[in-house]
């Protein structure tokens, strides 16, 4: 097992990661109103005191993170980089809520990680893993997502708009206009409520 400091790795501290994944989900909701075509999702009301983030690229790659009173726990899967699901036995028992969710597709794993609320380090299994592109999103501060989104959605994406949402600034009509002129504040409220992202109405 490998232990590493959040601040010195590609994966930030659990609370920072949670906000970052909320921002990614909010950006996708703004740029792509059709939920089925989005990469990122975030449910701030997954269960009592529990939030869930996910990413699916439509080609088999995916990640899931669960945030609850125990801390944060997640799994990443990339086709061609599979590990035996027996490594789940190494995840601490306090993350049982993560391990019990069939929706997380735990039969397909490349790596798992967790961080207790009292810890500043993530624990990662297996300790030696190949380069995983999905980690670039977790370590991103906006530039990586913007470049990716311009290619994926085939249109320019405002760098200032992306940075504003990565900084968790409330969505205003002006901010929304800079990212998607075809979407109104009323049209984004339901998504923002599910994600747990602030909207200035």
In-domain check, residue 51: yes
In-domain check, residue 200: no
pLDDT reported for residue 58: 84
In-domain check, residue 171: yes
pLDDT reported for residue 129: 60
Residues in the chain: 201
Reading the block at residue 91, the tokens are 């995840």
Q: Count up the domains in the chain and report the number.
A: 1
In-domain check, residue 201: no
pLDDT reported for residue 84: 81
Query: 104: part of which helix (H) or strand (E)?
Result: none
In-domain check, residue 69: yes
In-domain check, residue 130: yes
Query: Could you tell me the pTM of the whole model?
Result: 0.91
pLDDT reported for residue 135: 80
pLDDT reported for residue 127: 67
For residue 69, what are the CA distances in angstroms to 13, 96, 101?
A: 15, 12, 16
Residue 96: CB atoms within 10 Å:
12
Reading the block at residue 62, the tokens are 């995916």
Residue with tokens 């380090």: 121
For each of the chain's 201 residues, which pLDDT tens digit applies? 444 433 334 678 899 999 999 999 999 999 998 988 899 999 999 999 999 999 998 889 999 999 999 999 999 998 888 888 788 999 999 999 999 999 999 999 998 999 999 998 899 888 666 567 778 888 888 999 999 999 999 999 999 999 999 999 999 999 999 999 999 999 999 999 999 999 997
In-domain check, residue 27: yes
* Nearest alpha carbon to residue 56 among 137, 112, 131: 137
Angle between helix 14-31 and helix 143-153 axes, rounded to 10 deg: 30
Q: What is the domain extent for residue 153?
A: 2-195
């Amino acid at each position: 097992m490998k232990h590493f400091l959040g601040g010195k790795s590609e994966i930030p501290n659990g609370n920072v990661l949670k906000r970052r994944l909320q921002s990614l989900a909010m950006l996708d909701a703004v740029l792509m109103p059709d939920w089925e075509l989005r990469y990122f999702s975030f449910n701030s009301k997954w269960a009592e005191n529990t939030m869930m983030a996910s990413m699916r690229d439509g080609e088999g790659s995916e990640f899931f993170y669960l945030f609850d009173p125990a801390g944060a726990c997640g799994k990443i899967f990339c086709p061609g980089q599979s590990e035996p699901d027996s490594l789940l036995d190494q995840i601490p028992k306090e993350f049982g809520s993560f391990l019990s969710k069939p929706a997380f597709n735990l039969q397909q794993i490349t790596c798992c990680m967790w961080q207790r609320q009292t810890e500043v380090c993530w624990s990662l299994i297996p300790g030696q893993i190949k380069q995983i592109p999905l980690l670039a999103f977790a370590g991103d501060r906006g530039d990586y997502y913007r470049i990716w989104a311009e290619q994926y959605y085939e249109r320019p994406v405002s760098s200032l708009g992306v940075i504003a949402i990565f900084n968790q600034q409330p969505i205003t009509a002006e901010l929304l206009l800079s990212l998607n002129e075809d979407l109104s504040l009323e049209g984004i409220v339901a998504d923002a409520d599910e994600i747990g992202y602030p909207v200035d109405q």
